Structure 1
């Protein structure tokens, strides 16, 4: 895979996962639950290990593909790496969830919360690939 660093992939996935914990925890957790029509009790389940484990595996998948994509460009500047990483979120992820949210009737606020998360998720992963890639 085009000289991709597996350590960077793991750390990038972890960084994205941590961003999610902060974003959907203290920063936007209450707003997100309100927009989803959930309570704190609703999200407490005995399947949290499975949910978090699967979410982390999906973060690894995202990091593998971003790392692979970035590795094909060879040595890049910090600016270029961050533009590509954030560009993936702005050009692919956010329009895709935006389309889903439009057709499902989700609120604009929910879209902004989730879009903000994905933007930060890919920015965090890009930052890791700058440092470790």
Structure 2
């Protein structure tokens, strides 16, 4: 196992948060801000940051396990791994949560697409900083 690229971990989490701010703000105006405004605004920033940081740490560990030589020979693995985790783990969980809440299908698709784009953006950071 190679070393975890901690710079990429923190930058990937920051980029995922930035994608969320744009996605739920000016891009789709979902009516649900990434950081809902209320009296506990700082706590919301912390929760979102923690979730994205945990996802990024998990990806960083995953890429360290694959190793630099493998990733240099097969750079598509950055996107295959990050997108695969989103498609096969995160998106089904988000979809089922929306289904239980009887959310309309278009909102489900927009929210699930956000997670795919956020994970692919994190993979992009790891690839760029390899």
TM-score by length of 2: 0.87
Q: How many aligned residue pairs are there?
A: 124
- Runs of 4 or more consecutive aligned structure 1 residues displaced over 3 Å after TM superposition: none
Structure 1: gaps (5+ residues): none
**Partners of 1:117 and 1:48 in 2: how far apart?**
22
- Alignment pair present for 1:120 and 2:117: yes
Return the structure number with greater relative CO, CA threshold 8 A, min gap 6: 1
CA shift, 1:88, in A, is 0.8
Q: Corresponding residue for 1:61? A: 54
| Segment drifting more, 50-59 vs 115-124 | 50-59
TM-score by length of 1: 0.85
Write out aligned runs for 1:16-35 (5 A): 16-29=16-29, 32-33=30-31
Structure 2: gaps (5+ residues): none
- Alignment pair present for 1:82 and 2:79: yes
- Structural RMSD (CA): 1.8
1:50-95: CA deviation from partner (whole Å, max 9, x where unpaired): 2112211221111001111121111313312111111111111111
